[in-house]
Structure 1
Amino acid sequence: MSEPLLLVSESDSILELVFNRASKLNAINGEMYDALIAQTERFATEPSLRVMLIRARGKYFSAGVDLNSELGPDPQLASPAAFRQWYREGRGSLHPLLDRFEVIEKPIVVAHHGPCLGGALEMSLSCDFRLAAHSARYGLPETAFGNIPGSGGTSRMARLVGPQWARWFIMANLQMDAAKAERIGLIHDVYPDDEFEARVRDFCLNLAKQPAEAIGAAKLAIELCADLDRAQARNVERIVASGLFFGDEFRSLFAALREKLGKRSPA
């Protein structure tokens, strides 16, 4: 019996999803897409799971969406409006999945080795943390096919690294190695290939130990503040921090800290 194309395991509160289609450069097909959606929902609703890690087997992280699979828009779509509606909610569209990544109040980590292209990079842009091996390489080739990266590759890339580097990937259709991707802020950290899996694991273990409510609230607050002016962003901070202050998690952790310091906990 053949292995599934998305390997799933969990340990130490980490849900690990591994692309397992190396013979097809880990291009995402219908089976992988459906499994990603199912596991993402399980991650969102299972309290024991604190971190989701996405990585891959083989020489590629992923070549993107498999254009020969059943994914993608129905060729019978009759208008731009119908296409946009498919984008929002149709099966095979990355939009619902990637939008879901951004609102789950838990951290999602993606770990790249080898090329990460097209839809796979668009998926990665919606994750909270992007880690890379030195062998990682990034590209958005959609303009070579006469379109733009329409599943967040344009909007999220411009927001994350600025219009200047979005032009590099999208208009010039150029790729970038891991070292440069770290310098421009596309990824958070780069590790030697022979240390990659262990370093990624250590990062996820540390993340899983952080207070769950505070981490979830921080994720949403950061996302909101990034698009607000200073005054609005400060109000978001105040609302989120005050809500956490009266929660059981903060009270318990802060009481323990004050006891350690020999002081009274807040009333």
Structure 2
Amino acid sequence: MADTFVHVDRRPDGVAVITLDRPKANALSVELLAQLEAAADGLAADLPGAVVVTGGPKIFAAGADIAGFGGPDEAAVYARQFRAAFDKLAALPRAVIAAVAGYALGGGCELALACDLRIASEKARFGQPEIQLGLIPGAGGTQRLSRLVGAGRAKELILTGRHVDAAEAHAIGLVERVVPAGEELDAAVALAAELAAGPLVAAGYAKRAVDAGLDGPLAAGLDLEQELFVEVFRTEDAANGVRSFLDNGPGKAAFKGR
């Protein structure tokens, strides 16, 4: 029987927690990535309210399994599986939050980048050290990192391969929140539960508008935003939210996720 490296826990508050569990360092093997892809497929087929991705208490994920590296043929297999797993996770029309404890390096950092938000332990460290092996990031690092922190900072991190601690990661915009060590998962789940109780269709539209808008010219992004702004008025949550605002003021609407 094949080992299980990815676990999905669906909580009653609507949050699905994906946990990577491949001793000792959560190295991202092709098998683990295939299981992560399958987990994303399962969540897409039966959407939760929000998703949290986490790893071990000392290592979120240490990157690709170097032992599986060979030549270009093996690299192509890894690249395809990284792309499939991370793209499907990123495409979920729900908030996906990384809860990062310890090291998130190489593919592990790229997994965090594929999430919408990142909550880090104060002891977390991030990096794209592929250059130290004579390689480059192959799971989104050159693209998602530059979109998040800017081209100059991304190039500096990628070309030097240096690690950044949680404080610097927060300062440059790589993570959104830093919390005391041991509290990152609870903080991520609490935020996910808050988002899961919100207007889920609207949140999915907002995520789509931001992500798709970054992939094209400003005019195309504005067109998409306008289209989705009109479309969201067809939802029950929008009707309830507007009515609640008019009757009771802001922040008191009860959303049903439809």
TM over 0.5: yes
In the alignment, residue 108 of structure 1 is paired with which amino acid?
Answer: V
- 1:64: which partner in 2? 63
- 1:147: which partner in 2? 135
Which stretch of structure 1 is more off in the superposition, 101-110 or 246-255?
246-255
Choose from 173, 184, 190 the match for 1:202. 190
In the alignment, residue 20 of structure 2 is paired with which amino acid?
Answer: F
2:5 equivalent to 1:5: yes
- Residues in 1 aligned to 2:22 and 2:57: alpha-carbon distance in whole angstroms: 8
Q: Work out the number of aligned pairs and report it.
A: 248
2:76 equivalent to 1:94: no
Give yes or no for contact 1:129–1:188 (8 Å, CA) kept in 2: yes
Q: Tell which has more relative contact order, 1 or 2 (C-alpha 8 A, sep 6+).
A: 2
In the alignment, residue 127 of structure 2 is paired with which amino acid?
Answer: G
Matches within 5 A, 1:160-171: 160-171=148-159
In the alignment, residue 36 of structure 2 is paired with which amino acid?
Answer: L
- Unaligned 5+ segments in structure 2 are 250-258
Distance 1:70 1:35, change over 3 A: farther
Distance 1:235 1:2, change over 3 A: closer
2:206 equivalent to 1:218: yes
SS in 2 for 1:35: helix
Task: Give 1:58 deviation, angstroms.
Answer: 3.7
Distance 1:137 1:46, change over 3 A: same
- Residues in 2 aligned to 1:245 and 1:205: alpha-carbon distance in whole angstroms: 24
Give 1 or 2 for the bigger CA radius of gyration.
1
- Residues in 1 aligned to 2:153 and 2:73: alpha-carbon distance in whole angstroms: 32
- Residues in 2 aligned to 1:61 and 1:44: alpha-carbon distance in whole angstroms: 23
- 2:223: which partner in 1? 235
Q: CA RMSD in A?
A: 2.5
Task: Give 1:185 deviation, angstroms.
Answer: 0.5
SS in 2 for 1:253: helix
- 2:100: which partner in 1? 112
Task: Give 1:230 deviation, angstroms.
Answer: 4.2
Given the two structures, how large is their TM-score scaled by the length of structure 1?
A: 0.84
Task: Give 1:103 deviation, angstroms.
Answer: 2.2
- Residues in 1 aligned to 2:57 and 2:218: alpha-carbon distance in whole angstroms: 45
2:27 equivalent to 1:20: no
Give yes or no for contact 1:29–1:69 (8 Å, CA) kept in 2: yes
Task: Give 1:110 deviation, angstroms.
Answer: 0.8
Give yes or no for contact 1:114–1:136 (8 Å, CA) kept in 2: yes
Distance 1:194 1:87, change over 3 A: closer
In the alignment, residue 122 of structure 2 is paired with which amino acid?
Answer: H
- Residues in 1 aligned to 2:213 and 2:110: alpha-carbon distance in whole angstroms: 22
- Unaligned 5+ segments in structure 1 are 78-82, 262-267
Task: Give 1:248 deviation, angstroms.
Answer: 2.8
Task: Give 1:72 deviation, angstroms.
Answer: 9.1
- Residues in 2 aligned to 1:102 and 1:21: alpha-carbon distance in whole angstroms: 22
Describe the superposition over 1:112-163 as per-residue Cα deviations: whole angstroms up to 9, x where unpaired: 1111001111121111011100010011111112221122111111111111
Distance 1:220 1:72, change over 3 A: farther
Give yes or no for contact 2:30–2:78 (8 Å, CA) kept in 1: no
Distance 1:225 1:124, change over 3 A: same
- Residues in 2 aligned to 1:173 and 1:194: alpha-carbon distance in whole angstroms: 27
Describe the superposition over 1:53-82 as per-residue Cα deviations: whole angstroms up to 9, x where unpaired: 11112421111111224899634x8xxxxx
- 2:253: which partner in 1? none
- 2:46: which partner in 1? 46
Give yes or no for contact 1:22–1:60 (8 Å, CA) kept in 2: no
Choose from 180, 192, 196 the match for 2:180. 192
In the alignment, residue 115 of structure 1 is paired with which amino acid?
Answer: Y
Give yes or no for contact 1:30–1:71 (8 Å, CA) kept in 2: no
Give yes or no for contact 2:28–2:61 (8 Å, CA) kept in 1: yes
- 2:237: which partner in 1? 249
Task: Give 1:183 deviation, angstroms.
Answer: 0.6
SS in 2 for 1:124: helix
Distance 1:103 1:2, change over 3 A: closer
